[in-house]
Amino acid sequence: MKTSIIGNVGILDLRNSTEKSIQQIKSIGNVGIAIVSTSTLPLLHQLPLGNLGMVIEIKEGYQLYTETLEINQAFLETLDPSLRALTADEVVIAYDVEAELLKEKIEDIEYCGDVSVPHHLYGAVQSVMTSGGGKMKTYDQDAEKPIHKKGVFKLTPSFLESLKKPTTLNVKGILQVDERVTEDQLVHVKELQVKGVIELREHMVAHLSPLISQSSSAQMTVIPDDYTVIDRALRMKEKQLQSWKQKKLYTEHPLYMNALKRDTIERSISNIHSSSFIVTSSESEDLLYEIVDTLDTEILAIDEPYLVVEKNELWDETAFLNLQEAVAVIVVNGGELTFAENVTADMIRERIDTIYHFGTLIAPKEIQLTIKQKLEINEGKLQSEKEEGTGNVGVLKL
C-alpha cells in the first residue's frame, strides 16, 4: 500500500530511480525541477505530482550540482577529466579564471539557474555552457560577490550597513525584512534573488519590489504596518491585556481567548488578522466575528473543557477511562491523534463532545462513522492507518 506523503519539492532527482523505489509514494506536492535519465523518464509519469515546473533529461556521464557551483582557478586545476555537468542552482565564475584553462577543463555545463560571469570571460563561458532555462549575467571586478543564505534569514539595518558596496542577496527559504529597515539602507542591495517566502511590512513593498530579481520564485507575505505580530500559539489571560488599548493583531497561529471577559476583548483589541483559528466563549463569539479581518478565520465558541492535540498523541481505552467528563477536542494543523484498536464507539459518544479537526485523525474503520458525527469542523484528514509524511524538501532522491 502507498503510504508516503511528501510536500513541495524543489528538485526531484529520478536519475537512479526504479519501480521499487517509487512504489510507496502516495503523493508529492508541487515540483520545481524534475531531473530524469532516458531510462527513468517513464517513472515520472507514474508519480502522483502536483504542478511540475520543468523536466530535464540529464545526459549520460554528466554530474549533477544541486547547490551553488563556484568555479575558480583552483577548482579548474583539479578537474581530470574535463567537466560535464548539469547545474540546478546558481553558477559563479570567479574573476581569476583564465579563459584558456576554462575551455580546456570544462567540456559542457548545462545550467538551469543563473550564471554570474566576469565581463572579460563572457565569450569563453558561452562556448562551454548551454542554457537549460537559466540566465547568464556579467559582473565587474569591483562588484561585491553575491551573498547566499539558507533557511530563515532576517534582513536587518545592521546587516545592510555592513555591506560596503551594493550586493546581490541570494536567499533560499524565508527572507524576513526587519520593520526598522529604511529606504536609504536598501541602496546597499543590488538585487534580491529569493526562492521561498518574503515576509515584510506593508510600507516596505514599494521599496523592496524593484530589487527582486525576475528569476525569483518568491511568495510575498505582507503584514499591515500597525499590527502586532503574534509568532506562536498564545493562551491569552486577563493580566496580559491590562495595558492593551485597541491593539491590532496579526498571526498565523491559534489564539486561545476563552479565558477573557467580553469587555476585556472589546477594550484591548480592535482587529485580528488570523490565518488560523481562535477559541473564545459563546458570550464573546459575535464580538470576535466583528473584529477578525478575514472570513477564513475559524471562531470556535467553546464553554466546556477542551483538550488540544498539537503533536502526536495515542488515545487508548485507559486514556478514555481517565476522562472525568465529556470534552471538546481540538486537533491543530500538524497535530495527529490516533485512536487505539481497543477504543469503542461508545467511549467516543460518552467522552467526546465535539471535535474541531484541522490535523490528522487515525482510527479503526469500525469507529470512523462515530468520529464523523462528532466533527464540528472538518478541515483535516481521517484515515485508518498512519501515513509516512515529509514536509517540503529542497532535493529529493528516489
Q: How many domains does the chain have?
A: 5
Q: What is the mean pLDDT of the chain?
A: 86
Residue at 366 is within a domain: yes
Task: Assess if residue 48 is contained within a domain.
Answer: yes
Residue 133, Ramachandran bin (φ over 0: left; ψ between -120 and 50: alpha; else beta): left
Kindly indicate the confidence band of residue 334, based on its pLDDT and cuts at 50, 70 and 90: confident
Residue 295 has pLDDT above 80, yes or no: yes
SS3 362: strand
Residue 344 domain flag: yes
Q: Note the pLDDT of residue 43.
A: 83
Percent of the chain with pLDDT over 90: 40
Q: Which residues of 223-233 are buried (b: 16+ CB within 10 A; e: fewer)?
A: beeebeebeee
Check residue 219 and give its pLDDT. 81
3-state helix vs strand vs coil in the chain, percent to 5: 20, 40, 35
**Residue 338 maps to a domain:** yes
**61 Rama class: left (phi>0) / alpha (psi -120 to 50) / beta:** left
Same domain, 248 and 264: yes
**Domain boundary residue, one of 223, 241, 275:** 223
Contact 393, 7 (CB under 8 A): yes
236-268 residues labelled b (16+ CB within 10 A) or e (exposed): beeeebeebeeebbbbeebbbbbebeeebbeeb
Low-confidence winner among 159-168, 334-343, 352-361 (lowest mean pLDDT): 159-168
What's the pLDDT band for 6 if we cut at 50, 70, 90? confident
Domain ends where: 175, 208, 223? 223
Q: What was the pLDDT predicted at 197?
A: 85
| Structural domain contains residue 52 | yes
* Sign of the torsion formed by the C-alpha atoms of 150, 153, 155 and 161: negative
| 395 domain-assigned | no
Per-residue confidence (pLDDT) for residue 277, from 0 to 100: 95
Task: Using the predicted structure, report yes or no on whether residue 51 has a pLDDT greater than 80.
Answer: no
Domain containing 155 equals 147-223
Residues 232 and 297 in one domain: yes
Report yes or no on 393 lying in a domain.
no
Q: Are 86 and 64 in contact (CB under 8 A)?
A: yes
* pLDDT for residue 1: 47
Cell of 287: 464580538
Q: Are residues 310 and 381 in the same domain?
A: yes
Say yes or no to pLDDT of 70 above 60. yes
pLDDT digits (tens, 9 = 90+) for 166-182: 888 888 788 889 989 99
Question: Which of 243, 267, 301 is where one domain is finished?
Answer: 301
pLDDT single digits (tens) 90-116: 888 888 889 999 999 999 998 888 888
Q: Span 349-357, mean pLDDT?
A: 95
For 16, residues 6+ apart whose C-beta sits below 8 A from its C-beta are 37, 40, 397
**219 and 157 within one domain:** yes
Alpha helix positions (H), 139-298: 157-162, 205-208, 262-268, 285-291
* Residue 332, domain member (yes or no): yes
CA dist., res. 309 & res. 319, Å (int)? 14
Residue 196 grid cell? 521561498
Report how far residue 245's alpha carbon sits from residue 228's, in angstroms, rounded to the nearest whole number: 12
Q: Is the pLDDT of residue 142 over 70?
A: no
Transcribe 29-66 into DSSP letters: --EEEEEE-TTTHHHHTTS--S-EEEEEEPPTT-EEE-
- Non-local CB neighbours of 158 within 8 Å, separated by 6+ positions: none
